[in-house]
Chains A and B, each alone.
Chain A
């Protein structure tokens, strides 16, 4: 079966997940993103590539940062952007997901950027478009359930490559609530595809998926062991809103054991970088001294995220 994200020429048709995306496609996206970073420093922060294209940000789940960076990316490419907070509109009146999509297609949409609480919603939309012969419309997954958040994974890879140049000698640790994290799944897929020799996940047993080691990672249930000599620390947000039941004692206790402090960070390599997809819970998964410290690259991640999303959208819309 053909990879549903690629067209028959092997080019990117939709961006749904990084799992199974070929290494050369991931590398091409990172290479394409690099020249887009310079646009932000110009007198006129705009490129004409997507002039006349209509992009719909379909957010069935709340998000400020992701929606804003997609919006800025699309606007810097000269696209017309429409933001729909669907949680407060038609869906609340009972319209189905695919009916919403069909209505927006009738308004000549060229691209959907989709965030949904249900894993697989963007795939469903892409399959629906294909089944109804609307291959000229593209779908970008902006985070679905616990499944994937591919543009976050890509901007993380861009950030690592920016600071570390090369993936082939790195030890990367992903720390915290992997169980509920679509970000972690996309990170693991990208890191292993790009040939990072050692990817670690660190967290309490209750917040790691069972058999997570089958994804090709080393599992640690102890911060001091897991962080030793790593080059990159990727923190995850503790996802209170996605938890059902008592997986944790209290946020205070979580911080004591799993929170990233300067003391714990000192176990990593001296030139290790600290990343976080945001929004941060200071004093829960990360200490303020680390979040604002010299090793943190959390704000550059946000800036690179715009360039990566510009690259993805212009590669898709050009197919």
Chain B
């Protein structure tokens, strides 16, 4: 499969979001791809707050079956969530379980005014009632479960999408 250019998708996503964001909109990226994407979107959209970062390892619903994720990262929310318009940012939307975990974690920091979801790619096969308000690309056919689609960042900061056999 020919993978689309992540940089182009990134600009398209920012263009979709631009009419709807206000200077007080805050972004929260989900580790790791979503954090890179949120950093990029904050610059493109000229938002005043630096983005927050969430690692959902402590909120995953498969902890009982698979244990703790080996190298959890720090969740850092450098602004007040209470009353804030929040956009959760992730690179790829798949089952929706990561988004569910991120929502639960976000609410432990306060009650946001509203929460929206922005993703670069929707690969289909949802298992929860979750949809992205902003999405640069919806794949016409869902990817097989044996494949991982993820964002990677080169040394010069260029974002690329990569398909890996899980």
**A residues whose Cβ falls under 8 Å from a Cβ of B:** 11, 28, 31-32, 34-36, 38, 42-44, 46-49, 314-315, 318-319
Contacts and interface: CB of A to CB of B under 8 A. Distances in A.
A46 B59 CA distance: 11
A35 B108 contact: no
22 contacts: A35-B55, A35-B57, A35-B72, A38-B76, A42-B108, A42-B109, A43-B82, A43-B110, A44-B109, A46-B108, A47-B59, A48-B58, A48-B59, A49-B63, A314-B58, A314-B68, A315-B67, A315-B68, A318-B63, A318-B64, A318-B67, A319-B67
B75 interface: yes
B108 A43 contact: yes
Nearest to B61: A48
Contact of A34 (B64, B74, B81): B74
Given A43-B110, A48-B104, A318-B64, 13 more contacts: A28-B70, A32-B68, A32-B72, A34-B74, A35-B58, A38-B74, A38-B76, A43-B81, A43-B108, A48-B58, A49-B58, A49-B63, A318-B66
A24 to B, nearest CB: 11
Nearest to A53: B64
B71 A31 contact: yes
Given A35-B55, A38-B75, A318-B63, A49 B68 contact: yes
B73 interface: yes
Contacts of B107: 44
A207 B58 CA distance: 44
Contacts of B57: 35
Interface string B109-120: 110000000000
B131 to A, nearest CB: 24
B74 A47 contact: no
Interface string B31-75: 000000000000000000000000101110001101110111111
Given A47-B58, A49-B58, A35 B75 contact: yes
Nearest to B67: A318
Contacts of A11: 67
Interface string B70-98: 11111110000110000000000000000
Given A35-B55, A35-B74, A318-B63, A44 B108 contact: yes
A80 B128 CA distance: 29
A71 B14 CA distance: 46
